[in-house]
Amino acid sequence: MHGTAKMMLRSQRSIAIITTSMHLPQNYLEMKPKSMDQVLSVIPNQYHKLDTTRSWDFVGLPQIAKRNLVTERDIVDDGFGPPPKKWKGSCGHFANFSGCNNKLIGAKYFKLDGLPDPADILSPVDVEGHGTHTSSTLAGNVVPNASLYGLANGTARGAVPSARVAVYKVCWASFGCSDMDILAAFDAAAHDGVDVISISIAGGSANYTTGSISIGAFHAMKKGIITVASAGNNGPSESSVSNHAPWILTVAASGIDRDFRGDVHLGSGRNITGYGVSTFNPGKVLYPLISGADAAGSNSTREDAAYCTEGSLDPAKVKGRLVYCKLDDASAGSESVVKGIGGVGAIIESDQFLDFEVSKIFMAPGTIVNDTIGEFVNEYTKSTKTPSAVIYRTHETKRAPAPFVPLFSSRGPNPGSLHILKPDIVAPGVNILAAFTPLRSLTGLKGDTQFSDFTLMSGTSMACPHIAGVAAYVKSFHPAWSPAAIKSAILTTGNNSKE
């Protein structure tokens, strides 16, 4: 082994887990020395990605559900008084972090590669909003009149509002979530005395012995701690499910009976309906409308400008207008481009995006329409010398049928063991309203001035804390139950779905 190698040793009772950090020989993974009997395995460090008012009522856990508060205070406590005697965790003083309290009783971060991340803060503080959203879904306090600028208004709460929370930050804005940080967090959580681990991180090996989450969850299980993990957002491909070890409770996403739609009125008198979240009230009856292709800049092609990519549009042609754009991965912020050069907003065409049935949040007036409606809008811009339109503020509608499994949710069969069914269960993961960080605008796009205490997010990351919350609820009534017993109780009492 090179003398410059940096290594991390994390012990789980008598078992050592070693993950490499850097500077190991390329063939070291095949060189496990026989003399090092204490080494169970050597695993290369990899980075993984991060995968409400209505959802708890929808799944049948209303605010008035029976609670075992006496036991709950011993297991997950009620947010009042000192932490439980069994608690061994801690909370330090970090940048932009106000410290812990009797609700948040633990906060740690792990950045073992030592690489600086100028887009993040070296502390447990959440700059992306993902961790804030998931933790409040699981154990958030009861907050009346929660909404996103009036949308999805209601009482926000977690499954177990009386639960205590300990956070372990392992994901970083520029790098994602590394294996060695994940393992360190599992080790710390088990040592600190948590009862349930919720981890909304996808990816990893199909081999149970080399995946950081499967290894960490296994040792947590040995200490009586159940791990609930997200299934991943790589659907609808077969065998795309992540976190499929049999000792993990793997959660796929489902939709609830709620949609967000944006109506558009064209100058021709025709009304069309799109999807997405636009919180803006129109300032005029109608705005001039132009297609992105017709607004192409001198250094751009009509094809590029049709997608409203950065630098493709002529500001003089866009100023004061709504723009009809097509959507691909490179132009996910079309309305940001339009707004940034003086435009009003965008009508965006994308069958592919709509197939995933999630509501995009816009930083300027906007809506997403299917290809058929999009082509109709495009033809309208050519049919008159003065095309015009107005995009109204998004409104909430009922969706049927529900629940449903969205395209993005990863599917089985289990790539690790075909005879073990995965995912285990589905839970609400589409357009979920929960708490959000004050350090990021709603879209994260340049020029976005929208900030909110709550926002809508979609993904199996949002589904995971729903089931982790159910696990905490079950454990509050049955504190002696094993992870397997809790998992069995949840899976055998869930409702069957036709999908």
Phi/psi of residue 60, each to 5°? 95, 25
Q: Residue 353 belongs to what H/E stretch?
A: helix 351-355
Position of tokens 């299917």?
370
Please check whether residue 341 is in contact with residue 333, taking contact to mean a CB–CB distance below 8 angstroms.
no
Q: Which of 268, 252, 186 is nearest to 225 (CA)?
A: 186
Q: Could you tell me the two tokens for 204?
A: 């990893």
> From the candidates 334, 461, 466, 476, which is the catalytic residue?
461
130 is catalytic: yes
Determine the straight-line distance between the first and last CA of the chain, rounded to whole angstroms.
Answer: 52
> From the candidates 55, 123, 130, 294, which is the catalytic residue?
130
Strand partners, 171: 177
Q: Which of 339, 323, 342 is nearest to 388 (CA)?
A: 323
Q: Could you tell me the two tokens for 327?
A: 């959507």
Please check whether residue 140 is in contact with residue 158, taking contact to mean a CB–CB distance below 8 angstroms.
yes
Strand partners, 271: 265
CA 298, CA 188: separation in Å to the nearest integer? 57
Q: Could you tell me the two tokens for 50?
A: 């991060």
Q: Could you tell me the two tokens for 260?
A: 């967000």
- Side-chain-side CA neighbours of 468 within 13 Å: the count stands at 32
Q: Could you tell me the two tokens for 416?
A: 């690790």
> From the candidates 48, 51, 77, 240, which is the catalytic residue?
77
Report the catalytic residues: 77, 130, 461
